[in-house]
Structure 1
Amino acid sequence: MKNVLGIMDLYEDDKQIRTLTTKRPVATLPFAGRYRLLDFALSSMVNSGITKIGMMMPAKSRSILDHLRSGKDWDLARRHDGLFYLPAIKMDKDSRNGNLQSFYRHMSFIRQSEQEYVLICNSRFVYNIDFTTALRFHQNTGADITMVYHIENKERPDNATILQTGENGLVTEIANRPAVYENSKVFMGIYLMSRKKFMEIISTAYERGGYDFLIDGILRHQDNLNIYGFQHEGYVSEICSTSSYFKTNMDLLEPEIWEELFMGYNPIYTRVRDEAPVQYKKQAKVNNSLVANGCVIEGSVENSILFRGVKIGKGVQVKNSVIMQNCELQDDALVENVICDKNVVVSDGKWLKGAENYPLIIEKNTVI
């Protein structure tokens, strides 16, 4: 897929997850003990053979730059092609929030690229996809645009873009819905099209006063576009709220999901950080948990995710929780259904409890 230009649109709505994105974008939300959310789409692009990737940056971009740097850990530190940062732009005073203006302002990057096709992704979905199959589907159908979707296996009260398709995959309807029902075909924020068609859609929509690529570039011109849907049949989860972030982390404790995402032929890459192995002290008890390097455990951990450098003191009980990097839970503390952001300290004997479908969130650098 060297003939495909990858673009990651990191300008994303974080209203439903704002407690965790006060100082970072959705793209760099810590996930699965050592990863960031953007690692999944970026790794899928790299594993599919895409060698030129543009990162459309949000306003809060420091953590993205710190994480990706030269792109070396994704084999993107190249003399030819590689990783490109497309800076956040200052929006026009009369413009509404949307990604169309960013695409338009970075048109020169797209125009000067040599690739025939463009693959656009966002960072809020967790998956491991081989895009070569989607490219073959796109070429064989003669589609103007291919939109990748998955079939949702349960209802959830989240906004989503739902596709209706015919037997051959031709998209007959695209609709934004306030809730997702079982067996809905949920769009995963992934588009595949020719570079020429992409530039044409951007120019036409922006010059007519549009602000959003999906709404103004595709939905308003759907009758004039040959749009097909491509189904991804593997594991997919969308991080669109704090509860979905919590649930998706908990999903990783299911062996079949962990193996599909991380143990297959195509690895998920992230920035390499050298840490000492986990230290399990004499009284440590760990059950059905994911524990990253650098942790020191003296208490009990059950059904939880511990990131690098977490310290669990004597008599501590951690249940159904996500504890991010360098947190410290001091002696006899209890934490259940909680998300602790980075560098949180829970003092001796403190008890913190949330609900399974509404976890308690402790903000970064908090001392309790």
Structure 2
Amino acid sequence: MKKQKWIALLLAGGRGTRLNLLTKSIVKPAVPFGGKYRIIDFALSNCKNSGIETVGILTQYRPYELHSHLGSCSYWNLYNRYGGLTILPPFQRNNSGVEWYEGTSHAVFQNIEFIEQHKPEHVLILSADQIYKMDYSLMLEQHIEKNADCTIAVVEVPWEDASRFGLIKMDEESYKIIGFEEKPEHPTTNVASMGIYIFKWSVLKDYLLQDEEKEFTHRDFGKDIIPSMLKEGLELYAYYFNNYWKDVGTVHSYWNANLDLLDRESNIFLKNPEWRIHTVESNAPPLFLDKSAKVHHSLLSEGCEICGTIENSVVFNGVKIGKGARIKNAVILPNTIVGENAWIENAIIGSQTVVKNGVIIVSKDSNAHLMVVGNNVIVDPELHDFTSKNNVLTVSS
């Protein structure tokens, strides 16, 4: 097989438990985003646009919908004779049964044979659950120029969010990394790892093999591989990224990232429009607005039928909103039906869900609490034991 300069591996198997009910039945990278996309579309499109020929997608938790979405790699133009797109689930090795991926670095270790087939000089490791546009080839150029053993993409995050990330300390002039803390309780910097790494493959392979021999290891890049490389004096550098980036690992960050699309300054699709984000086309009919519909400052997708009032919201493809319904500061996922005179505010409503006539799903303070309804739910107080307080319906399952 042709020797390649680099290949990419997308880590797409995490449970995404902080997304609450949205990932109860599907893996986080398959969660819909932005009216018509899936979260994984961003990393995949970045690979295509960066000229990467070989992409391996490491899946594990509830992969069925994700596999279906990836069924035709032609949407990302990643089918070619030298590699293309390959789905890499856990598999049985020898006679010991299926070996599940136990951490980020362990998932890559389990696929050493796949990587070796392509004989890459460098390996790009990506998280499949972030919203951003990035030319990975520019990161590779810096990686090669610095003769780095590992390059980590970094971004500044709000101080109140810093403890959610691996944090980088670096020389401000050379960008050489001099310290790394994985999700510290009391952050001393807000320069965060994006979970995007480029390694010299020969170096990474040695560390993966060494890590597997240790008596105790988390089998994780942030907790094991990166600290070991720093401790042993290898050349690690930061690649500074200063464009839009959002880790959608929590319900609030996911909600905020969707509503960012309503602001011209933060709408990622309006920035660098030639850097397209590709997805599977739905072939849905055009959007229909009834004469009773009122829409203000919102994003509506194809296949919707709107008869109610929508304000400051993102409504995905195939959604139906009944007459008299009020939708505000909400994200309504695909093929959901909202009945007449329903009221939804400061909420996320999952896919293929039915909200019956007159139901109220409202949070009075979006900063403190968002209402979340899962996928494939029928919200009908007459059929379920929902709790209600101050005329607000709380949906917990």
The answer on 1:215 being equivalent to 2:220 is: no
Residue 286 of structure 2: aligned partner = 277
Distance 1:36 1:253 in 2: 18
In terms of mean alpha carbon deviation, does 14-23 or 283-292 score higher? 14-23
The answer on 1:9 being equivalent to 2:11 is: yes
Match of 2:114 among 109, 112, 121: 109
> What is the 5 A alignment of 1:28-43?
28-43=30-45
The answer on 1:124 being equivalent to 2:124 is: no
SS in 2 for 1:318: strand
Distance 1:303 1:360 in 2: 16
Contact 2:122 2:198 in 1 (8 A): yes
Superposed displacement of residue 263, structure 1: 5.1
Identity of aligned residues (%): 28
Contact 1:289 1:305 in 2 (8 A): yes
Contact 1:5 1:53 in 2 (8 A): yes
Distance 1:59 1:83 in 2: 19
Residue 55 of structure 1: aligned partner = 57
The answer on 1:193 being equivalent to 2:204 is: no
SS in 2 for 1:46: helix
Distance 1:84 1:73 in 2: 14
Distance 1:257 1:118 in 2: 31
Distance 2:29 2:70 in 1: 11
The answer on 1:146 being equivalent to 2:146 is: no
> What is the 5 A alignment of 1:1-368?
3-12=5-14, 14-89=16-91, 97-153=102-158, 155-156=160-161, 159-167=164-172, 168-178=174-184, 184-209=190-215, 210=217, 211-224=219-232, 225-259=234-268, 264-354=273-363, 355-357=365-367, 358-368=369-379
Distance 2:7 2:72 in 1: 18
With over 3 angstroms needed to count, the CA separation of the structure-2 counterparts of 1:285 and 1:96, relative to structure 1, is closer
Superposed displacement of residue 261, structure 1: 6.0
Distance 1:98 1:26 in 2: 16
In terms of mean alpha carbon deviation, does 208-217 or 337-346 score higher? 208-217
Gaps of at least 5 residues in structure 2 are 380-397
SS in 2 for 1:256: coil
The number of residue pairs the alignment matches comes to 367
With over 3 angstroms needed to count, the CA separation of the structure-2 counterparts of 1:181 and 1:248, relative to structure 1, is farther
Superposed displacement of residue 269, structure 1: 0.8
SS in 2 for 1:49: coil
In terms of mean alpha carbon deviation, does 55-64 or 256-265 score higher? 256-265
Which amino acid in 2 is paired with 1:195?
W
Which amino acid in 1 is paired with 2:246?
S
Gaps of at least 5 residues in structure 1 are none
Contact 1:261 1:268 in 2 (8 A): no
Superposed displacement of residue 85, structure 1: 1.1
Distance 1:183 1:218 in 2: 17
Which amino acid in 2 is paired with 1:22?
K
SS in 2 for 1:143: coil
With over 3 angstroms needed to count, the CA separation of the structure-2 counterparts of 1:330 and 1:93, relative to structure 1, is closer
Residue 391 of structure 2: aligned partner = none
Give 1 or 2 for the bigger CA radius of gyration: 2
Contact 1:3 1:50 in 2 (8 A): no
Contact 2:90 2:99 in 1 (8 A): no
Contact 1:156 1:180 in 2 (8 A): no
Q: Kindly report structure 1 stretches of 4+ aligned residues shifted beyond 4 Å.
A: 89-96, 178-183, 259-263
